[in-house]
Amino acid sequence: MPPSAPAGPSPAAAQAPPLTGTVLHRYPLSSTAGRRARVDVTVPITTLLGGDAPAYVTSLGPIPAHDARAHAAHSSIRRLLTDPASGTVLDVGTSTYRPPAPLAEHVRHRNPVCVAPGCTQPAIDSELDHTVPYPAGPTAAHNLGPLCKRHHLLKTHAGYRLVQPTPGVFEWTTPTGQRYRKLADGDTFHLEREPEPTLADRDEPPPF
């Protein structure tokens, strides 16, 4: 018996094959029309980080954490990464550009104002920007942030670089190499300049 199991498996469970990727494909994933059905794997984020909470596969039910991690890495299976506390889906991958309403609400709750340094435009009045442009970047909490229209345009067209090193934290580099970090609570810090400025070393203040 695995040391983590609170009780021995039932006889039926003991005889069932392990839910590995190979076994999943024994199930009827194709319809009679020959089109492949979609399989949703709902995985708590803590499970992907090594936790023991089970994941759930549509029509199959719970699967062990280590199998969930294996399935989440399988490109043909849509991942539904969830917040274990609220159940909110945090990552829908590249299945859709537009975040589902609960995901959009989660991001706007996490970052209640525009993520540009110094900007106080409420998130509810801002657009949700893919930090890494879609579809190279997924529609996921760790790749979304509210930007007011002005700063969305600056980010998209004016040579400003933006990264989200951890969900809800945004680091900006202006075209002149000035760097800022804005936290989810709105606090903004001036970071050291990059060693190699991206453009001529001008000393202009950023238009924030």
Beta strands, E only, 4-77: 40-44, 55-57, 61-63
Q: Which amino acid is at 63?
A: I
Q: Is 151 in the site for Zn ion (CB under 5 A)?
A: yes
Stretch that binds Zn ion, among 13-21, 82-90, 150-158, 193-201 (CB under 5 A): 150-158
CA distances from 163 to 168, 170, 172 (A): 10, 6, 7
**Which one, 38 or 161, has the nearer CB to Zn ion?**
161
Task: Report the 10 Å Cβ neighbour count for 103.
Answer: 23
Q: Which of residues 88-147 bind Zn ion (CB under 5 A)?
A: 114, 116, 119, 121
Give min distance, CB of 140 to Zn ion, in A: 21
Q: How far is the CB of 119 from Zn ion (least distance, A)?
A: 3
Least CB distance from residue 120 to Zn ion, whole Å? Answer: 8
Shortest Å, Cβ 174 to Zn ion: 14
Size of the site for Zn ion (CB under 5 A): 6
Q: Which is nearer to Zn ion, 47 or 126 (CB)?
A: 126
Q: Which is nearer to Zn ion, 187 or 196 (CB)?
A: 187
Contact indicator for 184, 168 with CB cutoff of 8 Å: yes
Nearer to Zn ion, 82 or 111 (CB): 111
Expressed in angstroms, the distance from the first to the final Cα of the chain is 59
Please state the closest distance from residue 158 (CB atom) to Zn ion, in A.
13
Number of Cβ atoms within 10 Å of the Cβ of 14: 8
Residues numbered 11-40 forming contacts with Zn ion, rule: CB under 5 A: none
| Residue with smaller CB distance to Zn ion, 76 or 120 | 120
CA angle 139-25-49, nearest 5°?
Answer: 45
Residue with structure tokens 């590995």?
A: 20
Instruction: State the Cα–Cα distance between residues 35 and 131, nearest whole angstrom.
Output: 33
Q: Which residues bind Zn ion (CB under 5 A)?
A: 114, 116, 119, 121, 148, 151
